[in-house]
Chains A and B, each alone.
Chain A
Amino acid sequence: MKKIVDARGLSCPEPVILTRQALQEQGVKEIKVMLDNKVAVENVTRAAENLSWKVKVSGQSDNFLLELTK
């Protein structure tokens, strides 16, 4: 199952909270997270890696897409 989390415009730590909620849902294998700032990218990446997910970051300046896979 795929899931999309749109955390653009949200401030720390909300993007991490939303992403973690999605990661912990049953049956989710792939999550796309939309973010608009570098700090959130770093925080979500760290949180996902701590839960042993792989993270691929694309985009720049204020439009980032993180692809998280198990």
Chain B
Amino acid sequence: MKKHALVILGGLTLGGVAVFLVLMGNPGNYGVCIACMLRDITGALGLHKVAVVQYIRPEIIGIGLGATTAALATKEFRATGGSSPLLRFSLGFVGMIGMLVFLGCPVRTVLRLASGDLNAGIGLIGLIVGIIIGTMFLIRGFSLGRANKMSPPNGYIFPTFVIGLLIAAIMMPSFIFASKTGPGSMHAPLFISLVAGLIVGIFAQRSRICMAGGIRDIIFFKDFHLMYGFIAVFIAALVGNLLVGSFKLGFADQPLAHTDGLWNFLGMLLAGLTAVLLGGCPLRQLVAASEGNTDAVITVLGLIAGAAFAHNFGLAASPKGVPAAGQLAVILGLLFTIGLGFAVCRFRLEVK
């Protein structure tokens, strides 16, 4: 059990911090949702114009800086890149659309489930099916190819961007948008969010916790290591929600959720499939991006671009439901990703 201690501790911290952040002002089950928070930052930078979801979430800044600090301290910070950057961007892009149709990343799926939101149970089944399909592509030889070592400045671009976000979050210049109403206006105090993010970032970097990886490794290798982290997030958030009285079992009237089962399922299926092909969920990508991995940076940029498109073109869901354009986008995203999977596997067979 000792070798699992760090990932369990990381999971408990993530789940506990998530409930605490909601208590301090974040929207329901929004404690540490990487997809939602990247989407809010996208809006704060004016890359989408939906006024209710714009805020520079300091948690993301904290996770980035925490992971960079931990990676530098342990000499794990390395500038690498060149492993199919455009494919990574595209997979991040379509994955984000799936997550915004479900309304949450794999982390928020667990957090929503831990507060009794059964819609997230359907999302979780979709996530698992997506991961199974992704794993089948990996078994057939899917690979985004080798990354190479790069000159150090490559690795420091993303941390510099994160520091820029921090300055913007503190100074709040007039070109940065901040919601006056809606989910974007609900947030814990800046300093608390930042410190919470730092703690999560350090634990996430050290423990390599990954939600999609937890399910993947069980299917693939019968290795439960990352799953212990996944379960720890669930248990900590469940206990936290029961303690603060925010546990409510059911489908209807859950915070920032809709009850359209089919699209909860398919949205997360797309998220799970893309996460496996990318080698990790958005949290893991954010942490890797902060360790000098420029391929993960490209993926995060894909997530941000996906969020911008999802809101500028009315693809994202709302508690009212999933717009028709969003449904079409998920179908196209699935076709694209599955087609890409087959094409990459075929190329690999030919080069062998």
A residues lining the B interface (CB < 8 Å): 8-14, 16-17, 20, 36-39, 42, 46-47, 50, 61-62
Bound complex: CA A58 to CA B3 (Å)? 19
Q: In this complex, what residue of B is CB-closest to A46?
A: B225
Complex formed: what's the CA distance from A38 to B148 in Å?
A: 15
A47 touches B223 (CB 8 A): yes
Q: Cβ of B295: which chain A residues have Cβ within 8 Å of it?
A: 11
Smallest CB separation, B84 vs chain A (Å)? 10
CA distance A37 to B80 in the complex (A): 10
Q: Write out the residue numbers on chain B whose beta carbons fall within 8 Å of the beta carbon of A46.
A: 3, 223, 225
A9 and B3 CA atoms in complex are apart in Å by: 25
Stretch at the interface among B97-105, B109-117, B138-146, B236-244: B138-146
A43 to B149, CA, bound (A): 20
Question: A residues within 8 A CB of B280?
Answer: 12
Q: Are B147 and A50 in contact, CB atoms less than 8 angstroms apart?
A: no
Q: In the complex, A17 Cα to B222 Cα: how many Å?
A: 13
* A12 adjacent to B279 (CB under 8 Å): yes
Given contacts A46-B3, A47-B223, contact A9 B213 (CB under 8 A): no
Which 6 residue pairs across A and B have the least CB separation, nearest first?
A: A9-B146, A11-B279, A9-B147, A12-B279, A38-B76, A39-B208
Chain A residues with CB under 8 Å of B217's CB are 13
A42 cross-chain contacts in B, Cβ below 8 A: 208
Q: Is B220 an interface residue (CB 8 A)?
A: yes
Q: Which of chain B's residues have a CB closer than 8 A to the CB of A39? A: 208
The interface bits of chain B over 1-34 (1 if a CB of A lies within 8 angstroms of the residue's CB, else 0) are: 0010000000000000000000000000000000
Which of A8, A38, A50, A62 is B221 in contact with, Cβ under 8 Å?
A50
In the bound complex, residues from chain B placing their C-beta under 8 Å from that of A12 are 213, 279-280
* A and B contact pairs by CB, cutoff 8 A, 5 listed: A13-B216, A14-B143, A39-B208, A46-B3, A61-B78
Given A9-B148, A11-B295, verify A50-B78 contact (CB < 8 Å).
Answer: no
Residues of chain A lying within 8 A (CB to CB) of residue B143: 10, 14
Q: Which residues of the other chain, A, contact B352 by a CB distance below 8 angstroms? A: none
B220 & A13 in contact (Cβ 8 Å cutoff): yes
How far, in angstroms, from A50 to B279 measured CA to CA in the complex? 21
Check A13 against B279 for contact (C-beta < 8 Å).
yes
Q: Which of A13, A36, A37 has the most CB of B within 10 A?
A: A13
Query: Please, which residues of chain A bring their CB within 8 A of the CB of B138?
Result: 13-14, 17
CB-based nearest B residue for A42: B208
Q: In the complex, how many angstroms separate the beta carbon of B201 from the nearest chain A beta carbon?
A: 16
Q: In the assembled complex, how far is the CB of residue B262 from the closest CB belonging to chain A, in whole angstroms?
A: 30
Residue B154 is within 8 A (CB to CB) of chain A in the complex: no
Please measure, in the bound complex, the distance between the C-alpha atom of A49 and the C-alpha atom of B3, giving whole angstroms.
12
Q: Answer yes or no: B320 CB below 8 A from chain A CBs.
A: no
Query: Quick one: closest A residue to B278, CB to CB?
Result: A11
Assess the A11–B83 pair: CB atoms within 8 A: yes
- Complex contact A8–B208 (CB within 8 A): no
Name A11's closest neighbour in chain B (CB-CB).
B279
Give the Cβ gap from B21 to chain A, nearest Cβ, in Å: 27
CB B348 to nearest CB in A, in angstroms, measures 11
Q: How far is the CB of A46 from the nearest CB of chain B, in Å?
A: 6
Chain B residues 268-318 with CB under 8 Å of chain A are 279-280, 295
Whether A9 touches B80, Cβ cut-off 8 Å, given contacts A17-B138, A42-B208, A61-B75, is yes
The residue in A10, A11, A16, A46 that gathers the most chain B C-beta atoms within 10 A of its C-beta is A11
Residues on A with C-beta less than 8 A from B144 are: 11
CB pair B221 A16 closer than 8 Å: yes
